[in-house]
Structure 1
Amino acid sequence: MASERSRVAGNLRGQLLVLLAFGITLYFVVAFGQQAWKARQLEAQVAVRREALAALQREHDQLAAELERYATGNYRTYIEQTARRELNLAYPGETVGIVRWHAAPTPTPEATPSRQRPESKPNWREWLDVLRLPQP
């Protein structure tokens, strides 16, 4: 009986060790899976942030080129044009005129005169009439 007890106890210990090893292995597999999932999420976030960084870098380069272009003597002209066009600003004492363009009216066909104009006098005779001078 003692040998059977020790055999059962040894068998039970072996089963417990296998169960314990299985539990530890399962724990590490689940922990590794969670870490792999987090790593994928972080990689996706990094990709999104890199795209945003690239877009900001392109905008920075555009603005730097624009700043370089306007750093010359044309800068004041550019600022004045922008202030006038986009902000409707003017210098003190300036008069600003606002032009509102309307569409051109459509031309209507004119009626043709039904009778002929009477013969007109030569221009020099009309002047004589206007000045009330005797006509030859």
Structure 2
Amino acid sequence: MQPNSAVPEAVTAPSRTVSPGTYVLYREVDAFVTGDPAHTKICRVIDDRGHAPAGHLLLVDLATKELIQYAPVLYIRPLDPAEFMTDIDSAPLTLVDDGLLVSAAAAWLITQRGRIGGAGQGMEVLSATA
């Protein structure tokens, strides 16, 4: 933006190639402008091989399994794979009880023991899957 300009610069999508299998957020513009709360969907790119017009992709909505044809790339944002792994990557690596150092994945499983099989059953879950 120029110092005395009244017109803001356009904001564009980050330049990143979206390929099949990529997880994305897709904003359905018609639903957004009419106030529909279900305007943004988590999707996976199905195809980018030219079956859709240039600047459009074929998506599948992960929640409903609905096929979204000709989704405009302007309203698609790729999701960073690191976001899906944050809880595992940030799990404490030491166990409170005995101070043992464990892998990040094992630490995450142990912190989830209340959700998986109840308190005190975390190590049984680990040994059953090993």
TM over 0.5: no
TM-score (normalised: structure 1): 0.18
In terms of fraction of residues, the more helix-rich structure is: 1
Larger Rg: 1
In terms of fraction of residues, the more strand-rich structure is: 2
Highest RCO, 1 vs 2 (Cα 8 Å, sep ≥ 6): 2
TM-score (normalised: structure 2): 0.19
